[in-house]
Structure 1
Amino acid sequence: MNLSSLPYLIPLLLAATSAALLAILAWQRRPATGLDVFALFMIAAGVWCAAYAAEIFSESLAAKLFWARVQYLGISTVAAFCFIFCVQYSRRQLQRHQIGFLFIVPLLTITVAWVKPLTPFLWQEIILDNTGPLPMLTFTYGPVFWLIVGYSYLELLASMALLMIMSRRVAAPYHSHLRGLALAAVFPWLGNGLYVTGLVPIPNLDLTPFGFVMTGLVMALSIRQSQLLTVTPIARNRVLEEMRDGMLVWNRRDRLIDLNTTAAALLNLPQQSAIGRPVTELLNGRLAPLQDIYRMTDVQVEIPLHDREQVRYFDARISLLKDPQEEIIGRLLILRDITQRKQVEIDLSHQKELFENLVQVTRSVLKGQTLQEALQGAVDIACNLTGAEKGSLLLLDDNGEVTT
């Protein structure tokens, strides 16, 4: 093994390994929106990196050309998978014929790469350059190469546009995550631009596959941080923001991943900084009763919460969120402010109690054999109801004066 190949091989193999791990993790969670396509996106990037490493490691022209052709299985499809992922991530739908249309150019490119009579349309000239520390393939590119480059650039641009448009439609806590995803698409452009223009720090090293792996890493970190795909679709429409009920969503690690404006207002929580905080940190102090409910399973209860000098009452419903395999992936808490209704119920209860007391007094008066016994019975009932030790009954005349 030529040790001079290590500076090339190690980064490529690390990138391929990272792509493979991301693909495995995404595939395991593929019921979530778009993660199956994200896995294919990372597989394409990983194939590109691994085949590129094999090309560099090979010594003969024939072996290098074989691995160069294998690379095009990833080169031609990686941008298409990235675009489809962004489309699904934004809760849009692609029909089968639309997906098929997206792969016309990639399949054409792969065909040209593997069918030798057509190869000049991709590589007009192939040279094994031995002037550097390693023998490297150099190409004079044909029209199909520039077609797939332009097509891939267009798909990446469309991916960025979709994510930027989506960032305007979701709640404020997700703006930075979506813009980060959009900016992640810059890495392949940067790497490919440096390679095509010959400005790479290592001669003839194509940085584009590194760019796609970097894009995948940034996307994975952003998705993991916001947990947008593992619990709820990211395209939260205006209905959630305008609903009168408060909504809070936690992931399986008991960290808040979503709350609407109503919930933030009801609980006096900062909507943006509350995202990502654990339940024990968020629901404490005056919100501690909610933490007890959080540990329950599929219940609906009424709870009082003290808000400064007043008490507010809420109807709280906690539900488990499950994936298609019935595994628990989070919890959903719905809060409805029922303070006004509760106050009406309390007032009605007081009126009912007062009426019942009047009935008791009336019955006592009617039981008495004499007027003195009836009045004494009324005083005794009043003392029992009020908790007083003693009581007296005074008679007033028409002028409001105590009579004797």
Structure 2
Amino acid sequence: MTVGTTAAFLAWRERPEPGSVPLVAMLSGQCWWSAFLIFQLQATTLDSKLFWMNLSWVGVVVIPVAWFLFALEYTGHDQYVRLRYVALLSVVPVLTVVLAVTSESHDLLYVESTLVRRNGVATLSRTPGPWFWLITVYTYLLGLLGSIPLFGLIRSDSLPFRGQSAALLVGTLAPWASNALFVAGVVPITGLDPTPIAFAVSGVAYLGALTRFRLLGTNPSPNRRARRLVFQRMQEAAIVVDSHDYVVDVNESAVETLGVAPREILGRPAAQFFPEYDELPEDGAATGRVTLDGDSREALYDATVTRITDFRGRAIGRVITLHDVSEHIRQQQRLEVLNRVLRHNIRTETNLIAGYADLIEKEAGDPRATTVKRHAANIAEIGEKAREISDIFEQGREPTEATPLADLLSEHVADVREAYPEATVTCDPLPEDVYVATVLDAVFSNLLENAAEHNPSDHPHVGVTVEVTDEWVRVAVADDGPGIDEYERSVLERGTESPLVHGSGLGLWLVTWATGVAGGTVSFEANDPTGSVVSVRVPSLSPGEAGRTAAETRSS
């Protein structure tokens, strides 16, 4: 009883954690029953023993009800722990206490009560009546129903939850088993119910759950509601259908997307609300676009179908999620238009400006024509960089292509040596069996060209170093030029520009974005004594990884 009291005190301190109050009530019921068993054993007359036995029923009937309510709260089914349900569960226990107190005037709870003396010890022997068997079945039923959700936690991935549920089940099984033996007449001492004695095992088990496995400090009660909350509040519309294609559940987004109330769609064929339902795949990632009529316009959705199976692997339904891609499609259309402008119009216009500037320089000898041509070339270069960036983002939506690192670097090292013969370009030996994303071609091209082009020295030096591990490749390009301005680096680290805070060009943005598409990162450091070191760290691929998207490469 002392152990049970300690466990009840610890549980009381955890209020208002889910399950704390019912657990306190259950432990208090055990202590009550144990205390009145002691009083009954010490009594010497039939009337006194009946008095203490009848009062002990208060603790007896509290235990199963409190256990059931605790299991509901502990496992997240607290919507049933409401006053009206508690009152309903308490009807039979309250009547039992009333019948126990008034047992001398009827035979419902006990038919006969006698005093039995054996070896100088007086015990109370009672013949059960019909209500006794009713409350016994009711007690075992609540015990079983409360144990069912705990059995599901035995297989939980969480060690604390497994330990908690195991301790709770042990603590419950011990008194229930001893009581079953008493009811079956197996206990050798007539009239002695050993259930309160088994509460010592329960107290130790519950105390261990509270201290060793942090019962009430860490409990699974949020899990069930959290899963439902995630389903309801997810941005994508989700429709759950059974194996006969009838809608059995929808989330809030689906209700808004389809423009129907839950009561109008639940239990109805999905095809009535989903015009292209029959065209959806049976399972797997979704395949194309689905068009639905919205309030003011048609909206385009990506539809993903996920099969639901039972524990035998049999299909019992599907979940259809709809992701609104209307804005994405419009943005893609805008980019396609801008890409066409960058590919053709800007280049054509700058060529015309440069051509007219040549004519002016030849005919009028105006030196300002050279300035015009230089700025026209700058505009053309910006357009070319923007075009490359647009291509990079397009590659980010396509499956990743793996290319040997040696092929990418050696080609651009040779190009820079040819274009800038006054520069000294050194490169580490390149491994032949290392593969990286093909999108890095633009990264290495820009880094090497910029390192040689923007160096005012008569004999610039560019060094390329390569480090390879099992999973990553690091390529560093170092120069001895003026270095990258701290302001430029801060803009890149911020990840965005504004009218007042912006970089001087698109080259570093191209490097940063392309490396991100490849699933890597870029870092900038100062070189000693002058210059900068730009390091590109990306995943090491293999030829077999071709076909994965850039996002999948990053997540792996």
**Range of TM-score over shorter length:** 0.5 to 0.7
Cα distance in structure 1, aligned partners of 2:32 and 2:495: 71
Cα distance in structure 1, aligned partners of 2:223 and 2:65: 25
Q: Match for residue 387 of structure 1? A: 529
Q: Match for residue 76 of structure 1? A: 61
Q: Match for residue 114 of structure 1? A: 101
SS of equivalent residue, structure 2 residue 125: strand
SS of equivalent residue, structure 2 residue 193: coil
1:225: how far off? 1.9
Give the conservation status (yes or no) of the 8 Å contact 1:40–1:81.
Answer: yes
Cα distance in structure 2, aligned partners of 1:175 and 1:112: 40
1:108: how far off? 0.9
Cα distance in structure 1, aligned partners of 2:224 and 2:52: 46
1:96: how far off? 1.1
Amino acid at match of 2:4: A
Cα distance in structure 2, aligned partners of 1:201 and 1:86: 33
1:32: how far off? 1.5
TM-score for both structures, normalised by structure 2: 0.40
Pair 228,67 (structure 1): closer, same or farther in 2 beyond 3 Å: closer
Q: How many residues align?
A: 253
Q: Match for residue 303 of structure 1? A: none
1:176: how far off? 4.1
Q: Match for residue 153 of structure 1? A: 140
1:142: how far off? 0.4
1:238: how far off? 9.4
Which string of whole-angstrom CA distances, capped at 9 and with x for unpartnered residues, describes residues 202-250 of structure 1?
553211123345334313312322224125654435968xx9xxxxxxx
Amino acid at match of 1:103: S
State whether structure 2 residue 206 is matched by structure 1 residue 206: no
State whether structure 2 residue 277 is matched by structure 1 residue 129: no
Pair 308,79 (structure 1): closer, same or farther in 2 beyond 3 Å: farther
State whether structure 2 residue 214 is matched by structure 1 residue 227: yes
Give the conservation status (yes or no) of the 8 Å contact 1:188–1:208.
Answer: yes
Cα distance in structure 1, aligned partners of 2:95 and 2:200: 24
1:81: how far off? 0.9
Q: 2:76 aligns with which of 91, 103, 115?
A: 91
Cα distance in structure 2, aligned partners of 1:239 and 1:24: 30
Alignment root-mean-square deviation, CA: 3.9
State whether structure 2 residue 493 is matched by structure 1 residue 345: yes
Which string of whole-angstrom CA distances, capped at 9 and with x for unpartnered residues, describes residues 68-88 of structure 1?
111111112211111111111
Cα distance in structure 1, aligned partners of 2:54 and 2:66: 19
SS of equivalent residue, structure 1 residue 135: strand
SS of equivalent residue, structure 1 residue 236: helix
Give the conservation status (yes or no) of the 8 Å contact 1:45–1:213.
Answer: no
Amino acid at match of 1:345: E
1:136: how far off? 0.4
State whether structure 2 residue 30 is matched by structure 1 residue 30: no
Q: Match for residue 179 of structure 1? A: 166
Alignment of 1:214-293 (within 5 A): 214-231=201-218, 233-237=220-224
Cα distance in structure 1, aligned partners of 2:2 and 2:217: 23
State whether structure 2 residue 87 is matched by structure 1 residue 100: yes
Amino acid at match of 2:100: A
Cα distance in structure 2, aligned partners of 1:386 and 1:47: 80
1:29: how far off? 2.1
Give the conservation status (yes or no) of the 8 Å contact 1:33–1:88.
Answer: yes
SS of equivalent residue, structure 1 residue 185: helix
Q: RCO greater where, 1 or 2, for CA within 8 Å and sep 6 or more? A: 1
Pair 239,387 (structure 1): closer, same or farther in 2 beyond 3 Å: farther
Give the conservation status (yes or no) of the 8 Å contact 2:36–2:53.
Answer: yes
Cα distance in structure 1, aligned partners of 2:39 and 2:85: 34
State whether structure 2 residue 39 is matched by structure 1 residue 54: yes
Give the conservation status (yes or no) of the 8 Å contact 1:79–1:155.
Answer: yes
SS of equivalent residue, structure 1 residue 79: helix
State whether structure 2 residue 151 is matched by structure 1 residue 164: yes
Amino acid at match of 2:121: L
Q: Match for residue 52 of structure 2? A: 67
Which string of whole-angstrom CA distances, capped at 9 and with x for unpartnered residues, describes residues 28-86 of structure 1?
22222111111111111111011011000011111111101111111122111111111
Give the conservation status (yes or no) of the 8 Å contact 2:154–2:165.
Answer: yes
SS of equivalent residue, structure 1 residue 76: helix
217-226 or 197-206, larger mean C-alpha shift:
197-206
SS of equivalent residue, structure 2 residue 30: helix
Cα distance in structure 2, aligned partners of 1:23 and 1:347: 55
Pair 231,175 (structure 1): closer, same or farther in 2 beyond 3 Å: closer
Cα distance in structure 2, aligned partners of 1:232 and 1:174: 7
Identity of aligned residues (%): 27
Pair 232,149 (structure 1): closer, same or farther in 2 beyond 3 Å: closer
Cα distance in structure 2, aligned partners of 1:99 and 1:72: 18
Cα distance in structure 2, aligned partners of 1:226 and 1:112: 40
Amino acid at match of 1:163: L
Give the conservation status (yes or no) of the 8 Å contact 2:153–2:165.
Answer: yes
TM-score for both structures, normalised by structure 1: 0.54
1:100: how far off? 0.6
Give the conservation status (yes or no) of the 8 Å contact 1:187–1:212.
Answer: yes
Give the conservation status (yes or no) of the 8 Å contact 1:138–1:204.
Answer: yes
Amino acid at match of 2:529: G
Give the conservation status (yes or no) of the 8 Å contact 1:33–1:229.
Answer: yes
The runs of 5 or more residues in structure 1 that have no matched partner are 1-15, 244-306, 312-341, 357-383, 389-404
Pair 37,308 (structure 1): closer, same or farther in 2 beyond 3 Å: farther
Give the conservation status (yes or no) of the 8 Å contact 2:19–2:74.
Answer: yes
1:168: how far off? 5.2
Give the conservation status (yes or no) of the 8 Å contact 1:45–1:212.
Answer: yes
Q: Match for residue 39 of structure 1? A: 24
SS of equivalent residue, structure 1 residue 229: coil
Give the conservation status (yes or no) of the 8 Å contact 2:161–2:220.
Answer: no
